[in-house]
Amino acid sequence: MIRFFLPIFLGLSLTTFAQRNAPPIPDFTAGDKLDRNAPHDWNLGPTGARGWVYAHRGESTASRQILITDVAGDSPASGVLEKDDVILGLDGQNFDSDARIAFAKKITEAEAGDGKIKVIRWRAGKTEPAEIQIAVLGKYSPTAPYDCDKSKRIFENGCESIARNIRKPDGKRRHPIVRALNAMSLLASGEEKYLPLVKQEIEWAKTWEISEGDLHCWPAGWVNLFLAEYLLKTGDKSVLPAMKKLSYEIANGQSNVGTWGHRFAYEHNGILRGYGAMNQVGLSLTASLIIAREAGIDDPEVDDAIAKSRTFLEFYAGRGAIPYGDHHPWLQMHDDNGKASAAAVMFDFLGEKEPTEFFSKMGTASYGIERETGHTGNFFNMLWALPGVSRSGPEATGAWVRESAWLLDLARTHDGGFDFLGKPAATGGEHSYRNWDCAGVYLLGYSLGRKETRFTGKKESVAESLSRAEVEEIIETGRGWMPATKAESYDQRSVDELLENLASWSPVVRERAAIALAKKDDPKIVPALLEMAASPDKDTIFGACAGFEQLKGKGAEGVGAMQKLLAHDDFWVKAQAAEALAGIGEPARVAVPDLLKLVAAPPDPADKRDYLQRYLAFALFNQRGGLLGRSIENVDRDLLREAAVAVLKNEDGRARGALSSVYSQLSADEIKPLLPAILDAVENQSPSGVMFSDGIRLAGLNVLADHRIAEGVPLCVDLIELDRWGSERRLTGCLNALKKYGAEAKSELPKIRAFAKEMYEHEKFDISKPESRRHNEKMAKHYETLLEIIEDIKSA
């Protein structure tokens, strides 16, 4: 009884009350103080005030007070609010819902009315009404930012803010991404008065150089896009040499599989540095190359880079949002930090209708609270949002703005600029853009109605403009997600509703429905899924596969239907059926022979990167959840060997890594025929899935050491690569393998000693200095272990 009573009594939502391990909610009117480690505060829209609200697990749902942390001297809030004031409510009523969102929505309402924000202000023990007067801007139109006076005024004010900032002495010290975006916003205005400032920024962009020491891929795309958009807009060909140079560097810095990371790929093997692919970077770089090509860059290497990136990214069309790197399609939300919206823009640049339409719909379904999320912050989530949504037409942007108006208006500052908001309760690395000028992020979206640049829709979208009814259906698709509880609201839907959701166009809705359906106990679920599996509609088939995967053992009756789908003519249907069989588990082991044969079969021509083999590897060999991950009993060894050899050649490191579960299950005689393939996979790093690529190499090295394969000894040193990301893990595995060789490693002692010297003197670890050992304790211990191994080899 208490569980149900307390939230109602306290006026808190059930969502918030369900948050586990939540810190106590401070009451600033009772003397509570803001903790020094509290998460960030918030810009309070054009009032000129900043305030802190309670937040936990990505939500401010439980907030009922706004503690004022700062007030700008020349702002509407000046003289009305002071630091340490507390806003308790609006229009004479205390907050009874999220204080932050309620205040933001009041800004939108006030700008459409008389501009008055009436607050309940607590100050030094006294509670009284107060009034903040902000400028009246009108309402957002039903098609905002198109045909929208409010959007027009916001954009004009924002451009003036950017112009003032560029003229400031510190204007040239802003991050290159900020400078490029702000200048692109002025360019998108089409106003002659801003052209001198745009040209000033172009002179900077023409001299901008990629620096080896920084995360150079991030700004490179935006600087290049600015150069290209400027040339297309003005015809000024003086930018061509700089644009050609930068485009060439971008194209040559791409990985062999069409991706980019923090920095460009290694020249000697085309594999990405660091921990691998980052699609946020890849999308901006690819977009810049496409527009640079339109602006006059004629280079076959640029053409090739665009083609490879297109091949990589088009896989996700129809399957989910663009993920962080070379990973599964993103199914938690409809957009992952703006990358689906970015893909809509990029594929529109390429003139490809189907992916443009899909990704634009995904972006349209991602609004409001969902747009507050994003790895290291939602800077790019907001940047790409409206440009991506706009590819589906004015009805789509209007609906998206309607759902997100409070977020847009909360970010806007009193001087016309925009602040970085971030996610509630975000700290440290998850709030990385806290000091960035975000004017360009928002203004490029507000400029869409002007259609002055390619980024802002100068060329008509290849996608069909959606009707109002179609858009409203997409908006409904996006409902039902919250940061703390994710998609648990789906649990309240009926079985019939969830079965209908399983046939949705949206992979995200299908995934959410499948998870919720698995929690139900209804005898009609399995028959309904069997009927769906036989449908001619692929989305319905995908829904059936997702349903059986989540049902796990309860879906055993679906094994035959899923096994039948392994013969489907669509490779993604096969992949989803395989995942379903893995989800069902033990009853699905009857399908193992068919799955193994598929693994070793030649790839479908439509499956350009052999994704099917990747998903089959996961379904079969993952230690957790793979059908053979824990036991290969009664499995045909010839089929297994052929499949293993095939997987070890897959370009994805994670797919190869799944096979390591099999190594330990094979006898010495069974593993011998695999040794050449294992050795090859150790010597040659997978070209993609860099973060996971070392797992199978270390597992293979361990097998080589167990069998005392001589070629493995030098690899115990070669694989470590001290300068490559993840060296500590590789060092552990390589030293463990080296120990096993003992006397058989004597021929390689000079090489091992040379490496020990290199490690000792390496500036990254600096273990040569005793005083620094405490900062590199693990590496120092590894070095001592290496010396012990050297002595053991000598004396063996």
Question: Higher-confidence residue: 71 or 776?
Answer: 71
All CATH 1.50.10.20 domain ranges in the chain, comma separated: 149-477
Is pLDDT at 9 greater than 80 in this prediction?
no
What's the rounded Cα separation, in Å, for the pair 129 and 684? Answer: 71
Q: Round the average pLDDT of the chain to a whole number and report it.
A: 94
Mean pLDDT over 617-638 rounds to 97
pLDDT digits (tens, 9 = 90+) for 373-383: 999 999 999 99
Q: Which pLDDT score, from 0 to 100, does residue 719 have?
A: 96
What's the rounded Cα separation, in Å, for the pair 655 and 651? Answer: 8
pTM of the full structure: 0.95
Mean pLDDT over 654-678 rounds to 96
Report phi then psi at 99, rounded to 5. Answer: -65, -40
Query: Smallest Cα–Cα separation from 785: which of 727, 710, 725, 734?
Result: 734
Mean pLDDT over 27-39 rounds to 95
Confidence band (pLDDT; 50, 70, 90) for 497? very high
Is pLDDT at 386 greater than 60 in this prediction?
yes
Is pLDDT at 581 greater than 70 in this prediction?
yes
Query: Smallest Cα–Cα separation from 397: which of 371, 363, 369, 438?
Result: 363
Q: Are 504 and 475 in contact (CB under 8 A)?
A: no
Counting Cα atoms < 13 Å in the Cβ hemisphere of 609 gives 25
Is pLDDT at 6 greater than 50 in this prediction?
no
pLDDT digits (tens, 9 = 90+) for 285-295: 999 999 999 99
**CATH homologous superfamily of 2-133:** PDZ domain (2.30.42.10)
Q: Are 162 and 440 in contact (CB under 8 A)?
A: yes
Q: Which pLDDT score, from 0 to 100, does residue 774 have?
A: 55
Spell 50-73 as b/e; 16+ CB within 10 A means b.
bbbbbbbbbbbbbbbbbbbbbbee
- For 149-477, CATH gives 1.50.10.20
Strands 66-71 and 49-52: antiparallel
Confidence band (pLDDT; 50, 70, 90) for 8? very low
Mean pLDDT over 163-184 rounds to 91
Is pLDDT at 15 greater than 60 in this prediction?
no
Helix 571-584 and helix 592-600: axis angle, to 10°?
A: 140
Q: Quick one: tokens of 505? A: 């166009």
Confidence band (pLDDT; 50, 70, 90) for 1? very low
Is pLDDT at 793 greater than 80 in this prediction?
yes
What's the rounded Cα separation, in Å, for the pair 369 and 373? Answer: 8
Mean pLDDT over 26-43 rounds to 95
pLDDT digits (tens, 9 = 90+) for 98-128: 999 999 999 999 999 999 999 999 999 999 9
Mean pLDDT over 679-683 rounds to 98
Q: Which pLDDT score, from 0 to 100, does residue 13 have?
A: 41
Dump the DSSP string for 337-379.
TTHHHHHHHHHHHHT-HHHHHHHHHHHHT--GGGGG--TT-SH
Q: Which pLDDT score, from 0 to 100, does residue 779 have?
A: 84
Q: Which pLDDT score, from 0 to 100, does residue 559 have?
A: 98
Confidence band (pLDDT; 50, 70, 90) for 777? confident
What's the rounded Cα separation, in Å, for the pair 700 and 727? Answer: 17
Q: Are 184 and 453 in contact (CB under 8 A)?
A: yes
Is pLDDT at 10 greater than 50 in this prediction?
no
Q: Which pLDDT score, from 0 to 100, does residue 775 have?
A: 56
Percent of the chain with pLDDT over 70: 96
All CATH 2.30.42.10 domain ranges in the chain, comma separated: 2-133
What's the rounded Cα separation, in Å, for the pair 354 and 507? Answer: 16
Question: Higher-confidence residue: 627 or 765?
Answer: 627
Q: Are 117 and 106 in contact (CB under 8 A)?
A: yes
Confidence band (pLDDT; 50, 70, 90) for 16? very low
List the single range of 280-294, 577-591, 718-732 with lowest mean pLDDT: 718-732
pLDDT digits (tens, 9 = 90+) for 293-319: 999 999 999 999 999 999 999 999 999
Q: Which pLDDT score, from 0 to 100, does residue 215 have?
A: 81
Q: Are 564 and 535 in contact (CB under 8 A)?
A: no
pLDDT digits (tens, 9 = 90+) for 326-339: 999 999 999 999 99
Which amino acid appears at position 707 of this protein? H
Mean pLDDT over 211-231 rounds to 91
Structural Rg of the chain based on CA atoms: 29
